[in-house]
Amino acid sequence: MSSRTVIRGGLVITASDEIHADVLIEDGRIAALAASATPAADAFTADRTIDATGKYVIPGGVDAHTHMELPFGGTFASDTFETGTRAAAWGGTTTVVDFAVQTVGQSLRQGLDTWHAKAEGTCAIDYGFHMIVSDVNQETLKEMDLLVEEGVTSFKQFMAYPGVFYSDDGQILRAMQRSAENGGLIMMHAENGIAIDVLVEQALARGETDPRFHGEVRKALLEAEATHRAIRLAQVAGAPLYVVHVSATEAVAELTRARDEGLNVFGETCPQYLFLSTDNLAEPDFEGAKYVCSTPLRPKEHQAALWRGLRTNDLQVVSTDHCPFCFTGQKDLGRGDFSKIPNGLPGVENRMDLLHQAVVDGHISRRRWIEIACATPARMFGLYPKKGTIAPGADADVVVYDPAAEQVMSAGTHHMNVDYSAYEGRRVTGRVETVLSRGVPVITDREYTGRAGHGVYTPRSTCQYLT
Ligand code: URP
Ligand code: ZN
Ligand code: ZN
Ligand code: ZN
């Protein structure tokens, strides 16, 4: 039995177009678009009609950087795949790409199987995986080829966190050389973790234990240095590079320079770096712990470089790095020692709204909003045009968005499984109204109508963004 839905009268926004159009959905895919109130649109017949008059009709968000249930610092990120993907849907995101973890001594396969088991049958929306490579050796290099073939086409490496996820320059170069051959994309956590650990030890010895010192020891220069080193290693390997969670002006400058040289080097930033700052890290009574993540929040002055990078396309993607830890019982682990605060912020539910606010504020255009939050992450990670756009043949992952609704972000009303909001009390204009995932209503007029297990694993092709 075929099922047909039509979304009538909205402003359809993609990365390339804005058009008042009716959207016909058949069997979970976009079947056709036609300008509203024309004979072609009037000819659309359906079992279900969604009135989007006065609303935007946008592709579901693609969040290419989440960490559901990530083990970190002796605890686990507090959102499961079930709670985290449900919260994502509430916020207008219909695909997440999460990070499977290889721990030292494990094979990539063991790590990937573990993450498949966590996610399978529990997700509200579709999901894929990147692979965190913590142990580069001859076996794991061979396994990278197999993973690319089965749809895990990107690999995160860490220049930070010695003794945990850290890779040295030789391991990084080898993985990059391999990805140059097999089409994989290396995603880099670019911070000089060896130098940072020295500064952490010295700060603690001086009695500097508060959360704000997390921001002081993880210096912008050490992000920039690692970004520069990663770029040159990738250049030597002949591999493309994607730098995750870019926060410092000096790191953006490294990306800009490399891109001006014509290199396939890409950068992602996150809402927390665009909207929060070291002022939050300095909040009294240990409240600053809520804002501990790495790379760290920076002084406000860095935000201008990030917005500029997003406008000039020196930064291409905004993902959340969603990695929530409750203030009570988890962030608490670092009272008296900032280095023991689990790193990460909640945000998977907030990204589309915060970036819409950036449209309202004049930082970016509506089409750029969709480009950095939907289309480019889909292309960067091999999901396009199945995900990230509204076009015939694409999955019907569609959000009806009310650009005029006002909301106040709060832990009291959000759906993430975490006891605080990084944006508590923030007033934003714009709100998700209805969300379809492959044509199935997951949010219907601000009610959750989805189901754990609707979301399916989505294998990816290699990067579709190379120049
Ligand atoms: O603080 C962060 N970003 N936590 C998640 C792990 C990572 O480095 O992305
Ligand atoms: Zn990272
Ligand atoms: Zn991350
Ligand atoms: Zn602003």
Whose C-alpha lies nearest to ligand 1, atom 4?
344
Q: For position 309, what pLDDT does the model report?
A: 98
Q: For position 467, what pLDDT does the model report?
A: 78
d(CA 71, ligand 2 centre) in Å: 13
Whether 293 lines ligand 1, by a CB cut-off of 6 Å, is yes
d(CA 339, ligand 1 centre) in Å: 14
Whether 297 lines ligand 1, by a CB cut-off of 6 Å, is no
Fold for 4-58+394-404+428-448, please state it. Answer: Urease, subunit C; domain 1 (2.30.40)
**Which backbone phi and psi does 113 adopt, to 5 degrees?**
-60, -40
Whether 343 lines ligand 1, by a CB cut-off of 6 Å, is yes
Q: How far apart are CA 37 and CA 174, in angstroms?
A: 57
Bridge partners (DSSP) listed for residue 166: 158
Fold for 60-380, please state it. Answer: TIM Barrel (3.20.20)
Whether 79 lines ligand 1, by a CB cut-off of 6 Å, is no
Give the angle 137-138-139 at the CA atoms, nearest 5°.
Answer: 90
Q: Looking at the CA of 361, name the nearest ligand.
A: 4
**8-state DSSP, 242:** E
- The pair of structure tokens assigned to 245 is 């969670």
Q: How far apart are CA 430 and CA 415, in angstroms?
A: 17
Domain ranges of the chain: 4-58+394-404+428-448, 60-380
- Percent helix / strand / coil, the chain, rounded to 5: 35, 25, 40
Query: What is the H or E stretch that residue 342 is in?
Result: none
Whether 345 lines ligand 1, by a CB cut-off of 6 Å, is no
Whether 323 lines ligand 1, by a CB cut-off of 6 Å, is yes
Q: For position 44, what pLDDT does the model report?
A: 98
Given a contact cutoff of 8 angstroms between Cβ atoms, the answer to whether 270 and 189 are in contact is no
CA distances 121 to 100, 130, 441, Å, are 16, 19, 18
Give, to the nearest 10 degrees, the angle between helix 220-237 and helix 169-182. Answer: 50
Whose C-alpha lies nearest to ligand 1, atom 7?
294
Q: Helix (H) and strand (E) counts for the chain?
A: 15, 19
Whose C-alpha lies nearest to ligand 1, atom 9?
321
Burial of residue 287 (number of CB atoms within 10 Å: 0-12, 13-18, 19+): middle
Q: For position 1, what pLDDT does the model report?
A: 55
d(CA 185, ligand 2 centre) in Å: 15
Which ligand 1 atom minimizes the distance to the CA of 161?
Answer: 8
d(CA 344, ligand 1 centre) in Å: 5
Whose C-alpha lies nearest to ligand 1, atom 3?
294
Given a contact cutoff of 8 angstroms between Cβ atoms, the answer to whether 461 and 154 are in contact is no
Q: How far apart are CA 186 and CA 177, in angstroms?
A: 10
d(CA 246, ligand 2 centre) in Å: 10
- The pair of structure tokens assigned to 122 is 């529990």
Q: How does pLDDT run along the chain (467 residues), one tens digit per residue?
A: 579 999 999 999 999 999 999 999 999 999 999 999 999 999 999 999 999 999 999 999 999 999 999 999 999 999 999 999 999 999 999 999 999 999 999 999 999 999 999 999 999 999 999 999 999 999 999 999 999 999 999 999 999 999 999 999 999 999 999 999 999 999 999 999 999 999 999 999 999 999 999 999 999 999 999 999 999 999 999 999 999 999 999 999 999 999 999 999 999 999 999 999 999 999 999 999 999 999 999 999 999 999 999 999 999 999 999 999 999 999 999 999 999 999 999 999 999 999 999 999 999 999 999 999 999 999 999 999 999 999 999 999 999 999 999 999 999 999 999 999 999 999 999 999 999 999 999 999 999 999 999 999 999 999 999 97
d(CA 1, ligand 3 centre) in Å: 41
Q: For position 410, what pLDDT does the model report?
A: 98
**8-state DSSP, 363:** S
**Helix residue spans in 337-460 (DSSP H):** 351-360, 366-370, 376-380
The two domains 4-58+394-404+428-448 and 60-380 share their CATH topology (first three levels equal): no
Q: Looking at the CA of 355, name the nearest ligand.
A: 4
Tell which one of 293, 297, 331, 418 to mutate to probe ligand 1, the residue whose CB is within 8 A of the most ligand atoms: 293
**8-state DSSP, 326:** -
63 closest CA partner among 393, 394, 408, 354: 354
d(CA 358, ligand 4 centre) in Å: 6
